[in-house]
Structure 1
Amino acid sequence: MKSTIVKSCTKASSVKREFHNSPLADPYAVVPATGFVRIDQILKLIPVSKNTWWTGVREGIYPTGIKWGHRTTVWKAEDIHQLISELSEVK
């Protein structure tokens, strides 16, 4: 259990460093202020693979999506903007 928590924290801090160095200055250009977004839009801003994103959702690192259809999941744009602001904070 402890190694899982350490691994999760390591992943999160790695994503924070990578996001902070991301060349995208305006997340609103990719993700609208309100509404819903799909995974491809999210991954343009957060530099992780789809597999890492879904693992982070299961582990509670990233927000839970809303099932929109049989093979479609969306996330609230507000939740993604909150995640982006948390990841961009330098500690």
Structure 2
Amino acid sequence: MPEIYSSALIGFNSLPDEGFVRLPVVAALWTCSRGTVWRWVKEGRIPAPYKLSPRTTAWRAGELRAALAKIERD
């Protein structure tokens, strides 16, 4: 796994479900590129992010955990 992915994941499991994470963490969780994250959001494979400010987009950790758990169940 590239180092950028592993460093982005540090502390993810300790975040509360209401905590927010940015694009590098989402890409690391799904081990894909940033472009793939956006494509999969559009397709509904990854939950949609929240627009926190005009230049800040983030995902809720709990929603990402739920999506990953669903993949594991399927």
Could you state the TM-score of these two structures normalised by the residue count of structure 2?
Answer: 0.70
**Structure 2: tracts of 5 or more residues without a match:** 1-5
1:83 aligns to 2:67 (yes or no): yes
How many residues end up aligned between the 2 structures?
A: 65
The structure with more radius of gyration: 1
- Structure 1 runs of 4+ aligned residues shifted over 4 Å read none
1:76, CA displacement in angstroms? 1.1
Map residues 36-51 of structure 1 onto 2, 5 A cutoff: 36-51=20-35
Identity over aligned pairs, percent: 28
Q: Distance in 2 between matches of 1:57 and 1:70?
A: 19
2:49 and 2:60 in contact (8 A); partners too = yes
1:33 aligns to 2:16 (yes or no): yes
1:69 aligns to 2:53 (yes or no): yes
2:51 and 2:57 in contact (8 A); partners too = yes
Q: Give the superposed CA RMSD.
A: 2.3
